[in-house]
Amino acid sequence: MSDAESSQSHELVAQAQNGDQRAFGQLVELHHSHVYGQILRMVRNPEDAKEIAQLAWIKAWKKIDTFRFESAFSSWLYRVATFTALDAIRKRDSRKEVSMDDEDHSYSVEQTASVVAPPEQLRNLEHKEIRSRFLEALEELPEHHKTALMLRENEGLSYKEIAKKTNCKPGTVMSRIFNARKAIQSQMKEFLK
């Protein structure tokens, strides 16, 4: 995003924080393709991405007053979109489980897995547990570490690009990503054997 766009965003954010819905609409126009693209990369389904993007914009509108102009608006918005997508993924994954309490009395994957369960069923359980642990570890990271890591891993941005987006030095970005990965590895050491 250019400096002119960034300046325009800051102006519009200030207006939106004062309740100006038209200004917020302009922010949506400016940033929607970025938000949608980020979410699409995470959920890999265009229809889901559209719905989640709408939820992200609703959250952004409700939380716009929490933006403190300490970083680029696009970085703040990126975090809102990322966490909205992660929440949706968690909800979707939990809906896929079938409980014994359901009317058809089906067993959940966890309840049917046993020592003699098919290997692919055990692998699915392990993948689900790994993903769940990863998301928990990600949630525990400080915001600036989480943002840097997500920009690197999900967006594929270079350290320089991340530094520009988050208004810090490339060395700081490298340090944040290193520390984020180290913290996640520490949380997931049982899976990394």
For residue 52, the domain's CATH number is 1.10.1740.10
In this structure, are 83 and 131 located in the same domain?
no
Closest CA to 75 of 4, 145, 165, 150: 165
Write out the residue range of the structural domain in which residue 133 sits: 122-193
pLDDT at 116: 40
pLDDT at 16: 92
In this structure, are 91 and 3 located in the same domain?
yes
Instruction: Tell me if 179 sits within 8 A of 152, measured CB to CB.
Output: no
In this structure, are 46 and 129 located in the same domain?
no
Tokens 């696009």 -> residue: 74
103 in a domain, yes or no?
no
40 in a domain, yes or no?
yes
Give how many domains the chain has, as a whole number. 2
In this structure, are 82 and 24 located in the same domain?
yes
In this structure, are 157 and 85 located in the same domain?
no
In this structure, are 38 and 88 located in the same domain?
yes
pLDDT at 64: 92
Instruction: Tell me if 138 sits within 8 A of 130, measured CB to CB.
Output: no
In this structure, are 146 and 82 located in the same domain?
no
In this structure, are 148 and 87 located in the same domain?
no
105 in a domain, yes or no?
no
69 in a domain, yes or no?
no
115 in a domain, yes or no?
no
Closest CA to 151 of 63, 48, 71, 46: 71
Record the pTM: 0.52
Instruction: Tell me if 88 sits within 8 A of 124, measured CB to CB.
Output: no
pLDDT at 145: 87
84 in a domain, yes or no?
yes
pLDDT at 13: 93
190 in a domain, yes or no?
yes
pLDDT at 87: 82
Tens digits of pLDDT across the chain (193 residues): 555 556 788 899 999 999 999 999 999 999 999 899 888 888 888 888 899 999 999 999 999 998 888 888 888 898 898 888 888 877 776 665 444 344 444 333 333 333 343 455 445 555 666 777 777 788 888 888 888 888 887 778 888 988 888 888 988 988 888 888 888 878 777 655 4
